[in-house]
Amino acid sequence: MDEKIRQVYETWVKNAVFDEDVARELADMSGDEARIEDAFYRDLAFGTGGLRGVIGAGTNRMNVYTVAKASRGLGEYVLRHAAKTPSIAVSYDSRIKSDLFSRVASAVFASMGIHVHLYPRLMPTPCLSYAVRALGCDAGVMVTASHNPSRYNGYKVYGPDGCQITIEAADEILNEIESVDPFGAPIPDFDEYIRRGDVEYIPQSVYDAFREEVRGQSVLFGDEVDRDVAIVYSPLNGTGLIPVTDTLREAGFGSITVVKEQEQPDGNFPTCPYPNPEIREAMQKGIETCQRVGADLLLATDPDCDRCGIAVRNDEGDYTLLTGNETGLLMLDYICSQRTKHHKMPVDPVFVKTIVTMDLAERIADSYGVRTVNVLTGFKFIGEQIALLEKAGHPESYICGFEESYGYLTGSYVRDKDAVDAALMICEMFAYYKSRGVSLLEKLAEIYRDYGYCLNTLHSYEFSGSAGMARMGEIMDGLRAGFDEIGGLKVTAVSDFSEGIDGLPKSDVLKYRLEGGSSVVVRPSGTEPKLKLYLSVSAKDRGAAEAVEKKLAAAFAARIG
């Protein structure tokens, strides 16, 4: 084992006494060089997504010391940039130690003279984005690992605009973090700063205002719909229970059944080890509940309630899960058709999507005269476009945005994806079409008839540890060497976003355009030790698309190894 790693480990053994769980784990790994190396071979990476990692002892883990270190770095950044008395908003989800990490972060900020606005109970990520702007804060912190398994936690950082931080801000904060000695100062006493008023709980009025903004996203414009539809909802043991059910009931949707096994916050996620509404296993309890109560629609939100997945009853009486792209296409078409019908389309309407989101969405937007803006993967880049429209004096031009990974936003009131908003808009859309005798599956088939069929799939390849990180770099280098065809389809163009394209920030992403209108995007995940492969196949029907997709997936799997 590297001597430097050994020395860092011994420093932690000597000083990491605040958290008994960390101290116990440090003692338990004594003598296990492989385990020590994995925990200490690097500092947990900090970037535009903040921190994310496995909960545990070590510099490469989420614990009170890495959280305190990141918080001191962020605090220094805020103190340098704040034009007035600095303040930071903090929220947390249902994950293991999320409440502890939020208190540690809040106490560190307060000890630096930064006023803290902390939600008094767990709240979704979009509520944090909203609070940053509503309270005029200089930054925000959301303690969450989104949809990762239970052993993960994370620390998302937001700027004063309510967006996740930019690349430039992340680099500057990282420089501050790297200069912090994790044991240079004791972790401050949270209760003391609560008593002094330096940490202040966010009032109910902010949460109420957020829900009012969400309800204001309706595009019915007076159209009558039957809201007496049977809805099953699962918060997947996360933060969505109260905000989603409050908002839906206030909007008139009274027949809501919550999935009992996934109702209450629980960071162990006992019935969905991977609490992601993209995954059928996570939706299974919801489907079973739908079958039991005869529901029309299933909604599920991830633990920090910024992603929303759905399933709808089909003609066979079973339930069909829609992909993030399919739900996004339906929502985009619904919003555009309603705004056009009621003459509510703004001047120069704008739709924003990520480069890995289905290209078919752009064809739908074009048909309504809506301008599409393509951005890098990550909803923060959609949020940045909203901010640019606001800066130009036209925030109303933004009508919606979505990404293939189940993230949607239909208004400018927050700058991150919002599953509370998505849940309401999906229920409204579902009720609107049902009132007119049309199911969402029938509407989706109509969209494919009008604009052509397109199949989008995601394949992930996991590469853990230091060797895995190096292997992902080698694979990306190999893919950049280029090739003329893949899976029997000719490569017609290659976009390397590491060089910066169309004014977008440089990013380790490759996009291959193939003959016949298909495309492939490859990128390392920014939050997980995974290489992600996005396949988009245009064909005459689903069967033909699936055949091509299978060949493309196999060809890339062979290259990735």
Which position among 146, 234, 405, 518 bears the catalytic label?
146
495 catalytic? Reply is: no
Instruction: Output the furthest CA–CA distance in the chain (Å, rounded).
Output: 71
Element (H or E) spanning 286, and its range?
helix 280-293
* Pair 81, 99: CB distance under 8 Å: no
Q: What DSSP state is assigned to residue 498?
A: G
Element (H or E) spanning 204, and its range?
helix 204-215
Which has the closest alpha carbon to 43: 175, 147, 158, 186?
Answer: 175
- Interatomic CA distance for residues 536 and 548, integer angstroms: 10
* Pair 143, 92: CB distance under 8 Å: yes
- Interatomic CA distance for residues 357 and 296, integer angstroms: 27
Q: Tell me the torsion sign for CA atoms 310, 525, 56, 170.
A: negative
- Interatomic CA distance for residues 313 and 285, integer angstroms: 15
Name 6's Cβ contacts closer than 8 Å, sequence gap at least 6.
36
* Pair 336, 370: CB distance under 8 Å: yes
- Give the Å distances, CA to CA, from 263 to 131, 153, 269: 25, 20, 10
Q: Which two tokens stand for residue 212?
A: 């009012």
3-state secondary structure of 20: helix
**How buried is residue 123: exposed, middle or buried, by Cβ count under 10 Å (0-12/13-18/19+)?**
buried
Could you tell me which residues are beta bridge partners of residue 118? 90, 201
Could you tell me which residues are beta bridge partners of residue 457? 535
- Interatomic CA distance for residues 363 and 358, integer angstroms: 10
* Pair 107, 263: CB distance under 8 Å: no
Q: Which residue has the tokens 């979009």?
A: 126
Q: Which two tokens stand for residue 301?
A: 């939100």
- Interatomic CA distance for residues 393 and 387, integer angstroms: 10
Q: What DSSP state is assigned to residue 50?
A: B
**How buried is residue 30: exposed, middle or buried, by Cβ count under 10 Å (0-12/13-18/19+)?**
exposed
Catalogue the active-site residues: 146
